[in-house]
């Protein structure tokens, strides 16, 4: 059974350190992916929507790893805001080790991303519909108090 560790980071320095440590711990280059929003996406026109296409593809890839759609959307929002994702796939012990490595280097908790809302002026936010609870999904393992998550697919 393949497990995938996913961590979201705020800066590329952390990502470089994570990738080096993952490779030193036995991950091969093809087992580790680094994902960020492409710098040169071009402009969106009526017939071209590169940003939307990127975000839809990223959401689809994440859900194929077993990430709940709401969590995938939170990861995409994090990437949209300049975050960088590290994805490492492997066996039970190597994936568990990847989560530990990512957390040591400050992986961002996605519930923090999901909790950040932009409120409309003049709207009574106390009366808005409560957010969905995205803290549990079958076949997803989450280490409490950590940022990186482990998914089984």
Instruction: Write the pLDDT tens digit of every residue in 73-95.
Output: 999 999 988 999 999 998 888 99
Residues 6+ apart with CB under 8 A from 48: 42
Q: What is the pTM of this model?
A: 0.72
Residue 136 has pLDDT above 70, yes or no: no
Q: What is the pLDDT of residue 11?
A: 86
Q: What is the pLDDT of residue 43?
A: 60
Residues 6+ apart with CB under 8 A from 68: 134, 137, 140
């Amino acid at each position: 059974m393949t497990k995938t560790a996913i961590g979201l980071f705020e800066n590329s320095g952390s990502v470089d350190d994570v990738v080096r440590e993952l490779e030193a711990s036995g991950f091969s280059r093809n087992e580790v992916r680094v994902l960020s929003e492409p710098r040169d996406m071009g402009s969106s026109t009526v017939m071209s929507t590169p940003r939307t296409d990127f975000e839809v593809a990223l959401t689809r890839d994440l859900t194929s790893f077993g990430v709940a759609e709401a969590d995938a959307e939170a990861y995409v929002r994090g990437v949209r805001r300049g975050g960088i994702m590290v994805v490492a796939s492997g066996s039970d012990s190597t994936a568990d080790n990847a989560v530990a490595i990512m957390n040591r280097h400050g992986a961002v908790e996605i519930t923090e991303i999901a909790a950040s809302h932009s409120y409309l002026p003049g709207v009574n936010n106390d009366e808005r519909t409560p957010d969905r609870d995205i803290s549990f999904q079958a076949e997803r393992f989450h280490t409490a108090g950590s940022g990186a998550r482990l998914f089984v697919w």
